[in-house]
Amino acid sequence: MKLAALAADVLRLPTPAQNPDVTGVTHNAAWAEPGSLFVAVRGARADGHSFMAQAQERGAVGVVGEGLPQGMQTTLPYLQVPDARAALADLAAALHGWPSRDLKVVGVTGTDGKTTTSWMTRHLLRAAGLPTGLLSTAGYELPDGQLRQFPAHFTTPEAPQLQGILREMVKDGAQAAVLEASSHALALHRVRGVEWDAAIWTHLTREHLDFHGTVEGYFADKRRLIEAAPFAVLNADDPWTERLRGVAPQEVTYSAEGQPADWQAAAVQQSGRGLQFRIHSPLGEFSAELPMIGAFNVANALAAMAAAAHLGATAQQLQAGLASFDGVPGRMQLVRGPGGEPQPRVIVDFAHTPPSLEKALQTLRATTEGQLWVVIGSAGGNRDPRKRAPLGEVAGRCADQAIFTEEDYRDTPLQDILAEMERGAREGAHHNFRSIEDRREAIRFAITQAQPGDTVLLAGKGPEDTLERGTESLPWNETQEAADALAQRSH
Ligand X SMILES: CC(=O)N[C@H]1[C@@H](OP(=O)(O)OP(=O)(O)OC[C@H]2O[C@@H](n3ccc(=O)[nH]c3=O)[C@H](O)[C@@H]2O)O[C@H](CO)[C@@H](O)[C@@H]1O[C@H](C)C(=O)N[C@@H](C)C(=O)N[C@H](CCC(=O)O)C(=O)O
Residues annotated in a binding site: 110-116, 155-156, 182, 190
Q: Which of 74, 163, 300, 317 binds ligand ATP (CB under 6 A)?
A: 300
User: Which of 142, 100, 134, 131 has the alpha carbon at shortest distance from 116?
Assistant: 134
x-marked contacts with ligand ATP along 310-349 as a string, rule CB under 6 A: ---------------------x------------------
- Contact flag: residue 192 with ligand X (CB under 6 A): no
Sign of CA dihedral 44, 27, 158, 147: negative
151 versus 246: smaller Cβ distance to ligand X: 151
Return the bridge partners of 236, or none: none
Binding partner at 355 among ligand X, ligand ATP, none, C-beta below 5 to 8 Å by kind: none
Shortest separation between residue 200's beta carbon and ligand X, angstroms: 15
Binding partner at 276 among ligand ATP, ligand X, none, C-beta below 5 to 8 Å by kind: none
C-alpha span between 5 and 10 (Å, rounded): 8
What residue numbers does the annotated binding site for ATP cover?
110-116
- Helix 388-398 and helix 414-427: axis angle, to 10°? 50
Binding partner at 158 among ligand ATP, ligand X, none, C-beta below 5 to 8 Å by kind: ligand X
CA distances to 64, 111, 411, 437, 451 from 472, rounded to whole Å, are: 44, 37, 10, 16, 34
- Contact flag: residue 464 with ligand ATP (CB under 6 A): no
222 close to 110: Cβ distance less than 8 angstroms = yes
Binding partner at 202 among ligand ATP, ligand X, none, C-beta below 5 to 8 Å by kind: ligand ATP
- Contact flag: residue 376 with ligand ATP (CB under 6 A): no
Taking the C-alpha atoms of 175, 324, 457 and 108 in order, what is their torsion angle to the nearest 10 degrees? 30
Q: Which of 202, 241, 319, 368 binds ligand ATP (CB under 6 A)?
A: 202
Subset of 121-140 contacting ligand ATP (CB under 6 A): 137
C-alpha span between 316 and 102 (Å, rounded): 27
Q: Which one of 71-79, 83-91, 296-304, 472-480 is the stretch in contact with ligand ATP (CB under 6 A)? A: 296-304
Subset of 201-220 contacting ligand X (CB under 6 A): 211
- Contact flag: residue 299 with ligand ATP (CB under 6 A): yes
445 close to 436: Cβ distance less than 8 angstroms = yes
Q: Where does residue 432 rank: exposed (0-12), middle (13-18), buried (19+ CB within 10 A)?
A: middle
User: Which of 162, 160, 166, 229 has the alpha carbon at shortest distance from 200?
Assistant: 229
- Contact flag: residue 412 with ligand X (CB under 6 A): no
Q: Which residues bind ligand ATP (CB under 6 A)?
A: 112-116, 137, 155, 202-203, 296, 299-300, 331
Q: Which residues bind ligand X (CB under 6 A)?
A: 27-30, 41, 43-46, 48, 51, 154-156, 158, 182, 184-185, 188, 211
